Each structure stands twice: as C-alpha cells, then as structure tokens.
C-alpha cells in the first residue's frame, strides 16, 4: 500500500483582523451617535419652545394697541404691542432676546414701559420671528432678527414716528446695533440702548451651547456649535465689533453685569472700548453688578430705569441741538 504524505497548512489567525474591524465599527457608531445627538441638540437650540404672550389685565399694563407687520420674502407675520403717549412722535422700539417674547422680563417689563411713557415716549415691543405669537419657529441669533428690527423701524416711520431709540436685550441688542448700520431710516434713530450684546457671534454661540445642554464639552460642544451655525446659517458677518465704525456717531448706552461667564461680559465692554476710542460722541456704559447674564434689570430695577430714562432724554436733547445747527 502506497502512503501519500499529508501536507499541513498553518492556519493564520483572523483574530487581529477581527479586532481591527470591530474597533472601526465601534468608532463609526460612536461618530454617528455623536453626530446624531449633536444635531438633535442643535435643532432644539435653534428651535426653542415659544414663550407665548399671556393675557394681560389692564390694571398692570399701560394702555396699548395690537400691531402687526410682515417680514421677509415669505411675508411672515410679526405681532406686537404699541404703548402710545398722546401726541408723541418719539418711540422706544424694544427688542427681546433669545428664548423670550415681547415682554423680556414678563410682567416686570411693564414698570420700564410705564416709566418711558411718563417721559413722553411711545413704546413698541414685538415678538421676533420664531418667538411668542409671531410666525416662524427658528432662532438665528441675529440674522433674521436684524431683518425683523429693520421692518419694525420701517413700520414706525410709516406711522409718523420722527425719533426712534432702539432698545434690545442679548440677541435683540446685537440685532438693534446691526440694524442701525443697515436701515435707510438712519436719520430717525437718535440712540441705541444695548443690554448685553455680543461683539462676536462665536462667543455668543459658545455661551448658548454651554447654557442649553448638559452634554460633556468633549466631544459634543464643537459638534453642537458647528450644527447650530449650519442650521441657522450664521457666520462672522454677524459680528458687531466690525460694525462699530458704522454705528458711530449714534449715541449708545451699553448695559452689562458682573457675571462670571466666559466671553459674555467682555463682549459688551469691548464694544464700549472700541466705540469710545473711535467716536467724537460719548459712549455710555453701565455695569449693574448683576451676577447672571442679562439680568441687570431684575437685579437693580430702579437704577436700571433711571439709566434708561436719563439716556433717552439726553438723546432727545442732543437731537434737538443737532437740528438747530
């Protein structure tokens, strides 16, 4: 019987290859999970729940009229209130911040409005797109909001307002400053009151992301920030610091607090410092000492109202002097 030799082939281990593929699959799954969670978080940030305007009884609010106007190519409807002072042609246009509505401080806003009324100012306050009772669902941190302010300025000019003071909070503050540089009705704007504006949009989006999500900073913060900017289509063209030369020489009052949040307080002070260096007109800056961002009014209401009234009356006097020259 003939015996044939049997050849034995060494079996190569597939374990390293399987481990490598498993690691790749896990990394891909993690990346997909991070991307999905980041996009979902960014969507919630750019589409905040609307804070609807409550029914207000006449005993806590000054007399007002409902107003509305349209914005954008799609003619989205903006709704608001107009608090008149009989015969006055000077109006404070009040613009709320992110996640708020026409009553920036809810019912606590009325003492501020009433104080301006007593000084002879009309007050107009409205819900930005995606807020309150206005159309839309998205916040764009100044892109659409600036257009809303521009439409509000146009509305007032068509209603025979001759002097406008823009007053905004947070996103609304930066939108007012940006609108000032774009409006064809620039001559009617005699001053801007900006409470906690951002000087550059990146710092502000950092703050919004940090304060709106409990996700770990790494790896989520950069991913969420990227998604927020893409969804809302914002870029550095919204930076206010680059617009300061075009804001000058309109008088401004910048309001800030002493909050320990990176970037937010420094943003407001930076606008003041640049304006002060470049403008022949005095810039006004008041730090309330508030411990929380955007809460200067709530922390020192009487002093806040005094600052606003003094500045507003000063703007009227300066406008009168300029008209007499």
Give the tokens for residue 58. Answer: 């006449």
> Topology of 54-200+239-324 in CATH?
Rossmann fold (3.40.50)
Query: CB–CB of 24/32 below 8 Å?
Result: no
Domain boundaries along the sequence of the chain: 16-46+208-236, 54-200+239-324
Per-residue pLDDT, 323: 87
Query: With 70 as the cut, is the pLDDT of residue 1 above it?
Result: no
Query: CB–CB of 142/201 below 8 Å?
Result: yes
Residue range 74-123, pLDDT digits in tens = 889 999 999 999 999 999 999 999 999 999 999 999 999 999 999 999 99
Give the distance between the most distant pair of CA atoms in the chain: 128
How far apart CA 276 and CA 284 sit, in angstroms, is: 9
The whole-model pTM stands at: 0.91
Inter-residue long-range contacts of 186-190, CB under 8 Å, 24+ positions, other chains counted: 186/250, 188/153, 188/156, 188/157, 188/161, 188/162, 188/163, 188/164, 189/153, 189/164, 189/165, 189/250, 190/90, 190/163, 190/164, 190/165, 190/250, 190/251, 190/315, 190/316, 190/318, 190/319
């Amino acid at each position: 019987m003939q015996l044939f030799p049997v050849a034995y082939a060494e079996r190569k281990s597939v374990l390293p290859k399987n481990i490598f593929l498993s690691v790749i699959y896990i990394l891909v799954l993690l990346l997909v999970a991070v991307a999905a969670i980041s996009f979902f978080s960014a969507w919630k940030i750019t589409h905040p729940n609307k804070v609807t305007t409550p029914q207000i009884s006449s005993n806590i609010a000054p007399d007002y009229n409902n107003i509305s106007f349209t914005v954008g190519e799609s003619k989205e409807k903006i709704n608001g209130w107009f608090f008149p002072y009989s015969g006055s042609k000077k109006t404070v246009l009040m613009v709320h911040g992110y996640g708020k509505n026409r009553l920036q401080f809810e019912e606590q806003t009325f003492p501020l409005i009433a104080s301006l009324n007593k000084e002879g100012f009309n007050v107009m306050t409205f819900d930005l797109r995606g807020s309150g009772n206005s159309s839309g669902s998205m916040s764009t941190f100044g892109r659409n909001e600036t257009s809303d302010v521009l439409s509000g300025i146009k509305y007032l000019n068509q209603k025979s307002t001759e002097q406008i003071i823009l007053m905004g909070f947070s996103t609304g503050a930066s939108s007012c400053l940006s609108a000032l540089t774009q409006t064809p009705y620039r001559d009617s704007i005699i001053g801007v009151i900006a409470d906690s504006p951002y000087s550059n949009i990146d710092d502000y989006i950092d703050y919004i992301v940090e304060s709106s999500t409990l996700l770990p900073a790494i790896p989520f913060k950069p991913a969420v920030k990227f998604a927020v900017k893409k969804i809302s289509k914002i870029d550095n063209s919204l930076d206010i610091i680059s617009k300061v030369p075009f804001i000058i020489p309109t008088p401004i009052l910048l309001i800030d607090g002493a909050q320990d949040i990176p970037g937010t307080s420094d943003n407001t002070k930076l606008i003041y410092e640049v304006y002060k260096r470049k403008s022949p007109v005095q810039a006004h800056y008041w730090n309330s000492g508030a411990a929380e961002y955007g809460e200067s009014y709530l922390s020192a209401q009487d002093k806040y109202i005094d600052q606003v009234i003094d500045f507003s009356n000063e703007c009227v006097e300066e406008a009168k002097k300029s008209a007499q020259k």
